[in-house]
Chains A and B, each alone.
Chain A
Amino acid sequence: MMPDPTQEGKGQTKEWKPDVDMPVVYFQGVSKSYGRIHALSNITLGLSGGVTGILGMNGAGKSTLFKLLMGKLKPSAGEIRLFGTDPWKNPAPYAKVGFVPEHEKMHDWMTALDFVSTFARLHGMTREKANQEAARVLDFVGLSDVANKQIGKFSKGMRQRAKIAHALVNDPQLIVLDEPLQGCDPLARTTVMNVIRELGKMGRTVLVSSHILNEIERITEQIIILHQGKLVALGNLHAIRERLDEIPHTIRIVGKDARSLAKDILEHPAVFGLSFPSDTELLIQTYHFGSLHAELPGLIVNNGHEVTLIDNPDDDLESLLGHLTGGGA
């Protein structure tokens, strides 16, 4: 309860001894419910190092998971450890954590530099050090030229990057980003993705949530899929896909002459069904999505077909979830 007399960034005067044997993020049988609504049920996972994508539809429990991890919410059951410490009871591990909340609301009246350096001082930095560090991270996220502009005048992408700078200012070991790509324009999206990949390369543990599979795919292959508060899959995205090979996938091709293309494609052993919604459109049914997808471009080019679009209508989170939860696409 007492304020920190040394003001050096220790949350409490109580000595904090990180448990070195623990993974960075550790959930053991964690549930969180609001009355009758179960936001999360029985989540068990441990994470250390690398970039991990948390996938889930809106309301799947991604933000709840993060808020539990950041000690904002108290778990209804189970045990959470952040660097081996219960985050609900002790804010000390935040010294090694950076958190980007999903909320759009920011302190619009501050400049980006003010925003980042003010909160940097909560890590026990002096004013000068905080300014230095803030300038450094703003440069890292590509905001150095607007560092002295008010956040209220920023675009959504710039705001997201300012939030990321705020989270990175203490050079954290663990970075938690809640929907960092939401509302970003393509350019900002690329910048944010590069920043996240860069952090992964630097050996930090990064947790990033999204409800769009493609986004996560471009950042990392290690994913966790949440659905209705339950953890439905955890591991490499391709491995998860492989497991789904027995499930039929659809590939949609749009080209000049769909019927002549169909003739050539039908020879491929993986294909088990074709249909023509229109003269220029071809839908292919396959059980071996991975192999067919890899060979398809060669097949088209070798036979001299003109194709304007290859699309996987099934390859989004909804159908993936559908397969994983056994409902079928």
Chain B
Amino acid sequence: MSEKPTIWRALDRKAMAVAEFTLRQQRKRLSTWVVMGVGFLAMAVLTMFYIDSMLREFDAIDNDGDSRDFDMDGYPNGQENLYGTDILDPESHPGLLDPPVAPDDPSKWINEDGFDIDSLADGSYGYDDDGDCRTEDKTNSQRDTNNNNIPCDVQIYSEFYSNNAIINGDNDVDEDPDEDAYAKESIHRAFVLALGKFGFVFLIGIFVPLFMATGLIRDEMSSGTMHYMLSKPIARSEVFLYRIMGFLGLAWPYMTGMVVLAALVTGFFGPSDGFFRFSDLGVWMAVLLASLLSLLVYAMLFCLLGVLWKHGIILALPFAAWELGMILTTLGAPDAAILRFSVIGWAMNIVDAGAALTWTDTSLLIALGLWAGGNNSGSSYESSEPLTGSLALEIFASDSGLGMTPLVTIVVSVCVMLFQAATFWFVGGALFKSKEID
């Protein structure tokens, strides 16, 4: 081996010595494993609920009522509509046509006209799967009730002021979506976002540093063992930094492992055409990035609070409460200016931007779920209540609050979080330097 001095060889001295020492020290503590075990269990329990909802069947609802048979002639209303016979006259049904048509099983007319939720975009969209709009009995104007000069489509556009998606469909197009497919897709997305935001970035991101990083300097100062380290030629802010590095040496692999595990579980159980749902990887990567950064920033901050005061954890708890308030704010008002004064607000920007890059159609998916086939359909019978899953997704999905493109949002937010970490390190190091150690 050559003795050429490289940066790694240099770092292997002080930085790695302290980091390695810290890592091994944490590993020897029972409390470390208790905190990590509780974190894992909490995430596992949340995931159980998710797996349960992926495995169950969501009741299919006949949103437009065309599986009914009003005139009791054996032909469901939908089939009669399609062939242009009178749904209220038992003497008029497709069986009397030439050639006669056999009656359909009513269940065929429950989820007969769902929206295609794989790729949604602004503009003209939708296809009249069951053919009751395209039927030749209708005039062109009957086929284009939304007046966009495209027959039998759903027009989606953004409202000028609010940017909300407006959905205006022609009658009898996409009026009876598949509840089960929609619920699974939206619950899946809602869960990925909820677990990523509240589970990893918030709960693990705050509580692991709260219990493990607050004492990084403080415990050693109280017990007197800090003397061994500080009687060596090392600046105290260096000790601060390298201790955090040691903490992250344990916390980062732990977080990465949990996120990868969650990505695997949701990949296998999530709705997909193939064996594994690869399409969420972008979101999970954003979640991983945000959670690793939040571990870093919170560790720096809590270690600082520990240096500041013997009972630093008491200072950390109100901060955690503040962050909880902020993460709740990001759900409803992601562009609130107050979020700039939090850590979690920036982390949420990263997750939301990652979700925006990966699932470009989430807001439309929500809008369609709330529209639920619309009640402008001529044959609307059942009330068009929001589809299962759409409200959950509406809660956990939000736009990133910076008003920039997703990629720029991620870059800016990462820079801000790194800056926060550096500031806490700088202040914490200065505080530590001014502390007398007995």
Q: A and B: partners? A: yes
Q: Are B20 and A118 in contact (CB under 8 A)?
A: yes
- Say which residue of B20, B25, B231, B241 sits within 8 Å of A94 (CB atoms): B231
Within 8 A of A (CB), among B314-336: none
Q: Does B163 contact A (CB under 8 A)?
A: no
Q: Does A91 contact B (CB under 8 A)?
A: yes
Q: Are A7 and B231 in contact (CB under 8 A)?
A: no
Q: Which residues from B are CB-within-8-Å of A98?
A: 231
Q: Does A74 contact B (CB under 8 A)?
A: yes
23 contacts between A and B (CB under 8 A): A1-B235, A1-B426, A1-B429, A3-B15, A4-B234, A4-B235, A7-B15, A8-B13, A11-B238, A70-B227, A70-B231, A71-B230, A72-B436, A72-B438, A94-B231, A101-B231, A118-B17, A118-B20, A121-B16, A122-B18, A123-B233, A127-B12, A167-B231
Chain B contact residues: over half helix, strand or loop, or mixed?
helix
Q: Which residues from A are CB-within-8-Å of B28?
A: 109
Q: Are B17 and A122 in contact (CB under 8 A)?
A: yes
Q: Does A239 contact B (CB under 8 A)?
A: no
Q: Binary interface profile of A, 38-78, with partner B (CB < 8 Å = 1, else 0)?
A: 00000000000000000000000000000100111110000
Q: Are B227 and A101 in contact (CB under 8 A)?
A: yes
User: Using a Cβ–Cβ cut-off of 8 Å, how many residues does chain B contribute to the interface with A?
Assistant: 38
Q: Does A36 contact B (CB under 8 A)?
A: no
Q: Are B233 and A72 in contact (CB under 8 A)?
A: no
Q: Does A302 contact B (CB under 8 A)?
A: no
Q: Which residues from B are CB-within-8-Å of A292?
A: none
Most buried by A among B25, B429, B436, B437: B436
Q: Does A29 contact B (CB under 8 A)?
A: no
- Say which residue of B11, B25, B234, B236 sits within 8 Å of A107 (CB atoms): B25
Q: Which residue of B lies closest to A163 (CB)?
A: B228
Q: Which residues from B are CB-within-8-Å of A227?
A: none
Q: Binary interface profile of B, 224-250, with partner A (CB < 8 Å = 1, else 0)?
A: 110111111111111001100000000
Q: Which residues from A are CB-within-8-Å of B233?
A: 9-11, 91-95, 122-124
User: A1 and B227 in contact (CB under 8 A), knowing A72-B437, A119-B232, A125-B13?
Assistant: no
Q: Are A126 and B227 in contact (CB under 8 A)?
A: no
Most buried by A among B12, B14, B15, B16: B14
Q: Which residues from A are CB-within-8-Å of B17?
A: 118-119, 121-122, 130
Q: Binary interface profile of B, 421-438, with partner A (CB < 8 Å = 1, else 0)?
A: 000001001100000111
Q: Which residue of B lies closest to A121 (CB)?
A: B17
- Say which residue of B10, B223, B235 sits within 8 Å of A12 (CB atoms): B235
CB distance from B307 to the nearest CB of A (A): 14
CB distance from A110 to the nearest CB of B (A): 8
User: Using a Cβ–Cβ cut-off of 8 Å, how many residues does chain A contribute to the interface with B?
Assistant: 48
Q: Are A119 and B229 in contact (CB under 8 A)?
A: yes
- Say which residue of A101, A109, A130, A163 sits within 8 Å of B25 (CB atoms): A109
CB distance from A80 to the nearest CB of B (A): 14
Distance in angstroms between the alpha carbons of A67 and B227 in the assembled complex: 9
Distance in angstroms between the alpha carbons of A3 and B425 in the assembled complex: 11
Q: Are A105 and B10 in contact (CB under 8 A)?
A: no
Q: Which residues from A are CB-within-8-Å of B269?
A: none
Q: Are B14 and A9 in contact (CB under 8 A)?
A: yes
Q: Which residue of B lies closest to A64 (CB)?
A: B438
Q: Does A232 contact B (CB under 8 A)?
A: no
Within 8 A of B (CB), among A269-302: none
Q: Which residues from B are CB-within-8-Å of A27?
A: none
Q: Are B225 and A6 in contact (CB under 8 A)?
A: no
Q: Which residues from A are CB-within-8-Å of B13?
A: 7-9, 121-122, 124-126
Q: Are B231 and A99 in contact (CB under 8 A)?
A: yes
CB distance from B246 to the nearest CB of A (A): 11
Q: Are B230 and A91 in contact (CB under 8 A)?
A: yes
Q: Are B10 and A8 in contact (CB under 8 A)?
A: yes
Q: Which residues from A are CB-within-8-Å of B235?
A: 1, 3-4, 11-12, 91
